Structure 1
Amino acid sequence: MRKVSSTRGFAKVAPHVVPALDRAVHRLTRGKLLLSALMLPGVILTSTGARSGLPRRTPLACMPTPDGLGWTLVGSNFGRPGHPAWTTNLLAHPDADVNWKGTDIPITARLLTGEERAAVWQDLLAFWPPYATYQARVEREIRVFRLERRT
């Protein structure tokens, strides 16, 4: 699957198919399962639209933090040009929610930069090597966010 997910064909098809399948499976299992989580852990991010102000639900792969209290999200957009909309939403409205294994959790998102991003990027490449292919395919720096639980 790693090899397939690195192809340009996958990048063209996946953004239209994977989120729709994830939403359907998530709804049918009452939040207990994401189809893509069979490959990688995943959350449903509910953010506030940067322009609309409306709630936006996006299924996303994630890397749980080593302490198990947060998550790292990668705005790879499957290696396509342009940042995904959910990253713009988090920049405008960092307080959001994730659904993790059926539980809604309030979070605050923080864009990682500099040395912190570089260190986490190495962990991400070990976690999911296709991120290297995605980054090589685009001129932009892929956005990486740390999600931390709000109390």
Structure 2
Amino acid sequence: MDEEIYDSTTGWVADHIRTYLETDGEKGHMYQGWPTLLLTTRGRKSGRLRRTALIYGQDADRYLLVASNGGSAAHPAWYLNVMADQDVTLQVKADKFAARARTATAEEKPALWAAMTSIFPLYDSYQAKADREIPLVIMERV
């Protein structure tokens, strides 16, 4: 039996996930003009599978995510989960696959950050207002 996956409890995110799943990303992959994927992590406290939708970029065959949390002082829960367990599942359109996550190094981040801000320029303003270094996460298919 498949383990239950708990979707984001934020209403508009849950609606986005549902649309993405119902259409295999045909509707939902592009969200307000931005490419999105579904990320499933294991909750670091609950142990439950947690799914959210995120804007992503690509660097060759790697997927890039920014743990911005809108520039708030705290890392998003998905990032904390990824740091506790780097094994995740991604869905990009209809393609569902296992991936391993890691935070970009200081050397890697500038070029990858530029790639992500070319997709979603607000990341720069989020970083400017955040009292933390916003992590950029690299996801590699396993």
State TM-score, norm by structure 2.
0.84
| Residues 1:24 and 2:34 aligned together | no
**Deviation digits for residues 73-110 of structure 1 (CA, Å, limit 9, x no counterpart):** 00111222210000011111101110110221110001
Show structure 1 runs of 5+ residues with no match.
Answer: 1-14
Of 95, 107, 110, the match for 1:118? 110
| 1:105 alignment partner, SS class | strand
Q: In 2 relative to 1, CA 137–36 (structure 1 residues): closer, same or farther, beyond 3 Å?
A: farther
1:25-40 aligned at under 5 Å gives the runs 25-34=19-28, 37-40=31-34
| Residues 1:50 and 2:60 aligned together | no
Q: Cα distance, 1:128 vs. partner?
A: 1.8
Instruction: Extract structure 1 runs of 4+ deviating beyond 4 A.
Output: none
2:139 paired residue number: 147
2:6 paired residue number: none
Distance in structure 2 (CA, Å) of the matches to 1:39 and 1:80: 23
1:73-112 aligned at under 5 Å gives the runs 73-112=65-104
Distance in structure 1 (CA, Å) of the matches to 2:23 and 2:130: 35
Distance in structure 2 (CA, Å) of the matches to 1:81 and 1:17: 22
**What letter matches 2:87 in structure 1?**
D
Q: In 2 relative to 1, CA 26–126 (structure 1 residues): closer, same or farther, beyond 3 Å?
A: closer
State TM-score, norm by structure 1.
0.80
The percentage of aligned residue pairs carrying the same residue is 32
- The range that moved more, 27-36 or 126-135, is 27-36
Asked whether the 8 Å contact 2:41–2:88 carries over to 1, the reply is: yes
**What letter matches 1:34 in structure 2?**
G
1:62 paired residue number: 56
Distance in structure 2 (CA, Å) of the matches to 1:31 and 1:119: 28
Show structure 2 runs of 5+ residues with no match.
Answer: 1-8
Asked whether the 8 Å contact 1:21–1:35 carries over to 2, the reply is: no
More helix by share: 1
More strand by share: 2
Structure 1 vs Structure 2 CA RMSD: 1.9
Q: Cα distance, 1:135 vs. partner?
A: 0.6
Distance in structure 2 (CA, Å) of the matches to 1:30 and 1:80: 31
